[in-house]
A and B are shown apart, each in its own frame.
Chain A
Amino acid sequence: MNKPIRRVSVFCMLLVLALMIRANWVQGLDASALNANVHNKRTVIEAYSYPRGDIIVGGQSVTKDLLVNGNYYKYRRAYLNGPMYAPVTGYSSQAFGSNLLENVEDPILSGNDPRLFFRNALDTLTGKQKQGGDVVTTINPKVQQAGWDGLQGKKGAAVAIDPSTGAILGLVSFPSYDPTSIAGVTPDFATNWQKLTTDPSQPMLNRALRATYPPGSTFKLITAAAALETGKVTDIDAPTDSPDPYILPGTNNQKLVNEAGDTGCKDATMNAALAMSCNTVFGKLGAEIGQQRMLDEAKKFGFNNSSLDIPVGVTASNFDTNMGPAQTAQSSIGQFDTRATPLQMAMVAAAICNNGTLMKPYLVSEERSASNSVISQTSPTELSQATTPDVAAKLQTMMVNVVQNGTGSTAKIPGVQVGGKTGTAQHGVNNDQNPYAWFVSWAKSGGKQIAVAVVVEDSDTSRGDISGMHLAAPIAKNMMEAYIGN
Chain B
Amino acid sequence: MTTVESRVVACAPQGPASVRRNTELSLLVFAALVPVLAYAETGLAMDGRLPAGMLGYGLGLGSFVLLAHLGVRRFAPHADPLMLPIAALLNGLGLVFIWRLDKARELHPNFPAAQNQLLWSGLGISLFIVVMARLKDYRRLQRYTYLSGFAALVLLALPAFFPVRAGDFGARIWIHLHGFSIQPGEFVKILLPVFFSGFLMVKRDALALASRRFLGLYLPRGRDLGPIVVVWALSLLILVFETDLGTSVLFFGIFVVMLYVATERTSWVLSGVLMAGLGFWAVARTEGHVRGRIEEWLHPLAAAPGAGVGQIGQALFSLGAGGALGTGLGQGHSWLIGFAAKSDFILGTIGEETGVTGVIAVLVLYGLLAERGLRTALAARDPFGKMLAVGLSAAFALQVFIVVGGVTGAIPLTGMTLPFVAQGGSSVITNWALVAVLLKISDLARRPAPGEPLQPGTQP
Chain A positions near chain B (C-beta within 8 angstroms) = 1-9, 11-13, 15-16, 18-20, 22-24, 26-28, 30-35, 37, 39-42, 45, 71-72
Contact = CB atoms under 8 A, between A and B. Distances in A.
Q: Nearest 3 A-B pairs (CB), nearest first?
A: A34-B320, A16-B367, A27-B356
Contacts of B336: 41-42
A273 B364 CA distance: 89
Contacts, number: 136
B75 to A, nearest CB: 25
Nearest to B108: A71
A26 B374 contact: no
Contacts of B146: none
A6 B319 CA distance: 33
B322 A27 contact: yes
A8 B390 contact: yes
A23 B105 contact: no
A39 B301 contact: yes
Nearest to B359: A23
Contacts of B408: 19, 22-23, 26
B261 A13 contact: no
A98 B397 CA distance: 48
Contacts of A30: 316, 320
Contact of B400 (A16, A33, A40, A71): A16
Q: Which of A16, A39, A42 has the most CB of B within 10 A?
A: A16
A45 B393 CA distance: 42
A9 B374 contact: yes
Contacts of B370: 12, 16
A71 B383 CA distance: 57
Contact of B301 (A3, A23, A37, A71): A37
Contacts of B262: 1
Contacts of A9: 371, 374-375, 378
Interface of B: 105-106, 108, 257, 260-262, 264, 301, 303, 308-309, 313, 316-317, 319-324, 333, 336, 351, 355-356, 359-360, 363-364, 366-367, 370-371, 374-375, 377-378, 383, 386-387, 390, 393-394, 397-398, 400-401, 404-405, 408-410
A9 B394 CA distance: 9
A32 B319 CA distance: 11
Contacts of B356: 23-24, 27-28
Contact of A27 (B106, B261, B320, B374): B320
B319 A27 contact: yes
B303 A26 contact: no
Contacts of B386: 1, 5
A6 B261 contact: no
A41 B374 contact: no
Contacts of B390: 5, 8
A19 B406 CA distance: 10
Nearest to B333: A42
Contact of A4 (B260, B366, B393, B409): B260
A189 to B, nearest CB: 15
A12 B322 contact: no
Contacts of A33: 320
Contact of B319 (A1, A5, A23, A39): A23
Given A5-B374, A8-B257, A26-B409, A34 B321 contact: yes
B393 A27 contact: no
Contacts of B261: 1, 4-5, 8
A16 B363 contact: yes
A35 B400 CA distance: 26
Contacts of A40: 317, 320-321
Contact of A15 (B303, B317, B375, B401): B401
Nearest to B376: A5
Contacts of A16: 363-364, 366-367, 370, 397, 400-401
Contact of B308 (A20, A35, A39): A39
B378 A2 contact: yes
Contacts of B316: 26, 30, 34
Nearest to A29: B320
Contacts of B410: 18-19, 22
Q: Which of B324, B363, B398, B409 has the most CB of A within 10 A?
A: B363
Contacts of A11: 257
A72 B262 CA distance: 55
Contacts of B367: 12-13, 16
Nearest to B360: A20
Contacts of A2: 378
Given A5-B386, A22-B405, A71 B105 contact: yes
A71 B106 contact: yes
B398 A15 contact: yes
Contacts of A42: 317, 321, 333, 336
A429 B370 CA distance: 80
Nearest to B357: A27
B396 to A, nearest CB: 9
B355 A27 contact: yes
A68 B368 CA distance: 47
Contacts of A27: 319-320, 322-324, 351, 355-356, 359
A276 B450 CA distance: 123
A24 B322 CA distance: 11
Contacts of A19: 363, 400-401, 404-405, 408, 410
5 contacts: A5-B377, A8-B374, A12-B371, A23-B360, A35-B317
Contacts of B397: 12, 15-16
Contact of A41 (B257, B260, B333, B409): B333
B184 to A, nearest CB: 25
Given A8-B261, A12-B367, A23-B408, 6 more contacts: A8-B374, A19-B404, A22-B405, A22-B409, A37-B317, A71-B106
